[in-house]
Amino acid sequence: MAEPLLRVEGLWRRFDVSKPWLNRVIEREKPQFLTAVADVTFEIARGETFALVGESGSGKSTIARMIVGLLGASDGRILFDGKDMTALPASELRALRRRFQMIFQDPFASLNPRWRVGDIIAEPLRTFGLATGAAAEAEVGRLLETVGLSAKDAEKFPHEFSGGQRQRIAIARALSSKPEFIVCDEPTSALDVSVQAQILNLMRDLQDEFGLTYLFISHDLSVVRHMATRIGVLYLGRLVETAEAKTLFREPQHPYTRMLLDAVPDLALSGRRRKPVTGEIPNPISPPSGCAFHPRCPLVHDRCRETLPEPHSTATGMAACFATKGDRAETETAGTA
């Protein structure tokens, strides 16, 4: 793999979900913490699209927010181009910020309703001091045309646009500071299916044109299959499997990945029976012991209930499961019961 642009090492995030101090004292309760992200490690190479997939509550968006600096990390390091962003002084972090941007899920919430589109797109230009006045205006027009809108749209307000057009505006804003890395937090899940493909294709074209690197967050495997070069599967804040996109879809290793893939609607109508995903993601305040997936796992074994499986390398990438580690025969006989 080429030199990574982004490296996440042992990333943790805990949220304090305790009741107020006075209630805790009166009701004799201990502080409660929710572990949203636990010991996550991955790398993203220049020019690739790394997708994080998982159900709601698996910590996908929390990871995205920590990478762009909207949330602090409880523990661990985030290295962008070799520099540790969790330890960098504010001034250097600001300079680094220009090089990565984010596209949000809801294009109806991510554009300030009181700003003109031109000002929204020019905002990163101004704050990073890249262009002002007429130069900024020309740049905004050029960006609008890059994402398939008209330069004249700069005069309008966001409410004059449809969801897909608004997401194009959000993409233009993300591109305006000429970033190398863009975090996309479910960029199409709020859009109509017919518009989703247009936005995804636009994002791929822009990737080729500007050599962008994407971190792509989604729960929609068909979207991920279209976009990703590599995929990480999250379960309850932990990365359970990473692999090249093609091999992950062909040879899923972790039983959770298999469960997710089995649930994807089969557009080819091959007659393959779909298995619905069973069970629900557990409460992250009190996660199951051992491997967090064990209550839903078809291959569950006594060991899974007690010990947390360490990530280990597999034929296709990485997985964190006893069953994929070669102890499979033993586990499978135990699990089929």
Partner 1 sequence: MKSFNARFYGNPRVYLGLIWLAAVVIVAVFAGVFAPRDPFAIVGQPFLPPGSEGFLLGTDSLGRNVMAGLIHGARTTLMIAVLSTVAAVAFGTVLGALAGYYGGIVDDILMRLTEFFQTIPWFLFAIVLVAILSPSAMNLVIAIAVVSWPPIARVVRAEVMAVKAREFVQAAVVAGQRDMGILFGQILPNTLSPLIVTGSLMVATAILIESALSFLGLGAPGQMSWGFMIGAGRSFLRDAWWLVTVPGVVILLTVLAINLIGEGLNDALNPRLADL
Interface residues with partner 1 (CB under 8 A) are 65, 68-70, 94, 97-98, 101-102, 104-106, 109-115, 123-124, 127-128, 170, 173, 177
Cβ atoms of 109 and 193 within 8 Å: the answer is no
288 contacts 238 by C-beta, under 8 angstroms: no
Amino acid identity, position 280: E
Is residue 280 helix, strand or coil? coil
CB of 210 to partner 1, least distance (A): 17
Q: 65 or 301, CB closer to partner 1? A: 65
> Residues near 148 by Cβ (< 8 Å), separated by ≥ 6?
168, 202
The CB-of-199 to partner 1 minimum distance in angstroms stands at 16
Residues 6+ apart with CB under 8 A from 107: 163, 164, 166, 167, 169, 170, 190, 191
Minimum distance of partner 1 from residue 74's CB (angstroms) = 17
Find the shortest distance in angstroms from Cβ 147 to partner 1: 16
Q: How far is the CB of 145 from partner 1 (least distance, A)?
A: 21
Q: Which residues touch 169 (CB under 8 Å, ≥6 apart)?
A: 107, 111, 117, 120, 121, 144, 147, 149, 153, 158, 161
Minimum CB distance to partner 1 smaller for 163 or for 311: 163
Question: By C-alpha distance, which of 23, 307, 52 is closest to 187?
Answer: 52
**Is the CB of 101 or the CB of 196 nearer to partner 1?**
101
Residue 183 CB, nearest approach to partner 1 (Å): 8
Closer residue to partner 1 in complex, CB, 96/334 = 96
Closest distance to partner 1 from the beta carbon of 65 (Å): 8
- Which CB sits closer to partner 1, 12 or 115? 115
The rounded distance, in Å, linking the Cα atoms of 117 and 167 is: 12
Nearer CB in complex with partner 1: 38/103: 103
Alpha carbon of 309 to those of 61, 62, 293, 306: distances in Å?
24, 23, 11, 9
Q: State the helix-helix crossing angle for 163-176 and 117-127, rounded to 10 degrees.
A: 20
As given in the structure block, the two tokens for residue 273 are 């029976």
CB nearer partner 1, residue 219 or residue 246 = 219
Q: Which residues contact 130 (CB under 8 A, 6 or more apart)?
A: 98, 124, 176, 177, 178
Exposed, middle or buried: residue 271 (CB in 10 Å: 0-12, 13-18, 19+)? exposed
> Of 39 and 185, which has the nearer Cβ to partner 1?
185
Provide the minimum distance between the beta carbon of 159 and partner 1 in the complex, in angstroms, as a whole number: 11
